[in-house]
Amino acid sequence: MDNTFTPIEARKPPSSAIGPIAWMKESLFSSPVNTLLTVFFAYIIIRFIPPVLDWAFISANWVGTTQDECTKSGACWIFIKQWSGQLLYGSYPEELRWRVNLALIGLVAVVVMQFFLPQHLRRRVGWVSLLVYPLISIWLMYGGLGLETVSTDKWGGFSLNILLAFAGILMSLPIGIIWALGRQSQMPFVKVVCISSIELFRGVPLITILFMGSVMLPLFFPAGVQLDKLMRAFIAITLFQSAYMAEVIRGGLQAIPKGQVEAANSLGLGYWKTMRLIVLPQALKISIPNIVNTFIALFKDTTLVLIIGLFEILSTIQAALQNSNWLGGHHIEGYVFVAFVFWVFCYTMSRISVHIEQKLNTGHSRS
Amino acid sequence: MQTNKSKNSSATPKAAFYNRAEVRSVVFQVIVFLGLAYFFYTIYNNTMTNMEARGIRTGFGFMSQAAGFDILLSLIPFEATDSYGRTFFVGLLNTLLVSAISIVFATLLGFLVGVSRLSSNWLVAKVATVFVETFRNIPLLLQIFFWYFAVLATLPGVRDSISVADSIFVNVRGLSVPKIVWSDGAGIVFYALLAAIAGAFFLSRWARKRQENTGQPFPTLWATLGLIIGLPLLTFLIAGSPASVEVPKLQGFGFKGGMTLIPELVALTVALSVYTAAFIAEAVRAGVQSVSHGQVEAAAALGLPHAKVLRFVTIPQALRVIVPPLNSQYQNLIKNSSLAMAIGYPDLVAVFMGSTLNQVGQAVEIVFMTMMVYLFINLTLSMFMNWYNARIKLVER
């Protein structure tokens, strides 16, 4: 006889507690009200999703070049296909579009560099690339110095949205930092100037600032100075964005414990050295998620430049819908496509922002 | 402090004059002041020369001239012969109208979706998440275009209107709904409503005082609700129902009677409400999640039923977190209502900065006035929300 103790094998939980049935019981039919809601939403999904999928994919028209080839009942994606060049590049000359591509690739490279370069390189190369990239991309886009000149009224499409948003954020960063520091300053006059600039540009709609840029700015410059439309829109966007950026950075500045400044002062650092070496690196780091969030907002707001007559993606689609070859009412296809493009970009960036926030959180708690 | 400093200064070498913080601060501010003064002086000079060269007048004299254009929708009587000054108020009222309606809908929808995201029902939570992530990540202008050009423009014509219970009609020209027409003697109902609100105010004050003194609760919510709804209703019935409902009727090429909401207003309201609701939903979710679980458990341990836990424990604490972002969302909504211009809804920007500016050409005055209006509205709203926030915030010792 073997007298060793052999425990009885643990019994499995009853089938009512695990498995899909139990999950459904718990999270779909836990109460009469929940059951009712589940049935209601399930009905709506079953009623509407298949027709939408059918419209978008199964009976959609994919092949062809003209409106007449859209014979099937679904979406006419040929419309988007035919206009895709315009939607991305506007009226930028077709044989020169590689320059826009190069500028966009450079943009991606610069952004990626900020996050993935090894620490010791990031310090030097990162900042330098942020300063040098705009010059190179302006040269690529506008021309000169051996490249054929392309005037700004030819720029357009989604590339314009991207470049405007990125230029706006890059330009608003230094202005926002100065305004935010000024807002916290001990000097009463500087403080008043900064607070009123921030509150003015944050309290009014972007449209009014764009209008200001398009009808008032030309009056501000001496006669003879011509500012082109894109430049005026860019100035307006920068002012608007700087106000938001200042508030974001103020949030970061306020989160830095006072002891940091005091410690820096006791080491004999002056105001600018304290800010540059101690406070701002920490404040900017914790502001990154919110900077990304304002960037998303700005990116969506770049569509507003259509109101002052720039051909970004939304006004390109409006123009395409008015085109005499495509008068078949492709509004839904057009808007769904543009919405999808924006959605992909904004959703990805908001995920990145959440990711950075989590990453920064752990970094903070360990220290 | 001062004496200490002077005592020390004899021992340690005094900082050079130009290195002292106070001196530097003054010098720096003087430089900033001079720089700004020069900047504004140049701008002023340039503007004056430019305006003279282009023959643009200055001043607000244009406000009393006849406008000469019609406005699609006006809450106050307006004709083309009225002044530019009046176009300003027409636009302003239209902005306030669309903002007020959208704020109400956005708040209701936002709270509903925000709470749904936390629902124990998996499907409901997922649907709410998809709603938020979809509408938050698509530009508002695009959504306005979508509702206006892709949805409302494809509705049937006037003769084939979609009707709900033969009283609400939806067609390509807008939404026709029944209107309440007040007849003589309706004023007393309005006064009854005012009296009821005042009564409810004093009743709730009395109830709070009694509970503080004696500990006896009073069903304030139901009593005040009953008062505010009951008293006007009672006077309405006693006065012999001085009102009737006017149902829109199809006559010729349009609807007669009732109230017609133009499609521009409908599209703008829907887009603004849905877009802002997505952001409010996130604020609500964050607020509810910020209430620690222990609070709810403690309340349950005290024997409070679920509804009372919500009313006395969860909601008051969640509101503290929700109100500040709600404030900025309301401000955003009011600012975003200026996108009306893109579809031709006659709001302040479209009427005043659009049509009036086009005719008058006095950019500086008009842009300045419009900006000040938005600043004023937003600051007023902000003050109200700050007052409300101070009222509900945690009372600490």
Q: Which of A208, A217, A341 best tests the B interface by mutation, with the highest count of B CBs <10 A?
A: A208
pLDDT tens profile B250-277? 777 777 777 778 889 999 999 999 999 9
Closest CA to A136 of A166, A103, A158, A104: A103
Give B104-160 pLDDT, tens digit per residue.
Answer: 999 999 999 999 998 888 999 999 999 999 999 999 999 999 999 888 888 887 777
Q: Write out pLDDT tens, residues A140-172.
A: 888 888 888 888 888 989 999 999 999 999 999
**Interchain proximity B121–A186, CB inside 8 Å:** no
What percentage of chain A exceeds 70 in pLDDT?
98
Q: Please state, in angstroms and rounded to a whole number, the distance separating the CA atoms of residues B203 and A102.
A: 71
Distance, in Å, from the CA atom of B144 to the CA atom of B342, rounded to the nearest integer, reads 9
Between B394 and A10, the higher pLDDT residue = A10
Give the pLDDT confidence score for residue B223 in this predicted structure.
Answer: 84
At residue B2 the predicted structure's pLDDT band, cuts being 50, 70 and 90, is: very low
Q: Is B142 on the interface with A (CB under 8 A)?
A: yes
Q: Is residue A366 over pLDDT 50?
A: no
CATH for the stretch B84-157+263-392? 1.10.3720.10
Model pLDDT, residue B170: 83
Does A350 sit within 8 Å of B137, measured CB to CB? yes
Evaluated on CA atoms B148, B153, B159, B163, the torsion sign reads negative
Q: Between residues 56 and 75 of chain A, which touch chain B (CB distance below 8 Å)? A: none
Average pLDDT along chain A: 88
pLDDT digits (tens, 9 = 90+) for B281-290: 999 999 998 8
Does B139 contact A37 at a Cβ distance shorter than 8 Å?
Answer: no
B137 closest CB neighbour out of A27, A200, A343: A343
- pLDDT tens for residues A117-145? 777 777 778 778 888 898 999 898 888 88
Taking an 8 Å cut-off on Cβ atoms, the answer to whether A335 and B371 are in contact is no
Give tens-digit pLDDT for A192-213: 999 999 999 999 999 999 999 9
Tell me what pLDDT residue B267 has: 92
**CA–CA distances in Å: residue B384 to residues B33, B194, B326, B363:** 34, 21, 12, 32
How do the domains of chain A map onto residue ranges?
A: 77-92+150-366
> Can you tell me the mean pLDDT for B178-193?
78
What's residue B396's pLDDT?
62
Where residue B395 falls among pLDDT bands split at 50, 70, 90? Answer: low
Counted residue by residue, chain B has a size of 397
Confidence (pTM): 0.87
pLDDT, position B4: 47
CATH number of A77-92+150-366: 1.10.3720.10
Measured between CB atoms, which of B123, B142, B378 is closest to A314?
Answer: B142
* ipTM surpasses 0.95: no
Q: Do A207 and B375 touch (CB under 8 A)?
A: no
Say which residue, A329 or B299, is predicted with more confidence. Answer: B299
| Least confident piece of the model among A126-130, A287-291, B241-245 | B241-245
Task: Check CB contact under 8 Å for A41 and B29.
Answer: no
Q: Is the pLDDT of residue A337 over 50?
A: yes
pLDDT digits (tens, 9 = 90+) for B311-327: 888 888 898 889 889 98
Smallest Cα–Cα separation from B286: which of B331, B317, B255? B317
- Determine the average pLDDT of the residues in B356-366: 87
pLDDT over 90 at A296, yes or no: yes
Is B355's pLDDT higher than 70? yes
Identity of the residue numbered B340 = A
What mean pLDDT value characterizes chain B? 85
The confidence band for A2, taking pLDDT boundaries of 50, 70 and 90, is: low
pLDDT at A364: 43
For residue B5, name the pLDDT band (cuts at 50, 70, 90): very low
What does the block give as tokens for B16?
């050079």
**Chain A / chain B CB contacts < 8 angstroms:** 147
Residue in chain B closest to A45 (alpha carbons) equals B127
Chain A contacts of B139, Cβ < 8 Å?
300-301, 303, 314, 342
Residue B12: band (very low, low, confident or very high) from pLDDT cuts 50, 70, 90: low
pLDDT tens, A214-266? 888 888 888 777 888 899 999 999 999 999 999 999 999 988 888 999 999 99
Region A343-350 average pLDDT: 94
Q: What percent of chain B has pLDDT over 70?
A: 95
The pLDDT score that the predictor gives to residue A273 is 92
Average pLDDT of span B80-95: 88
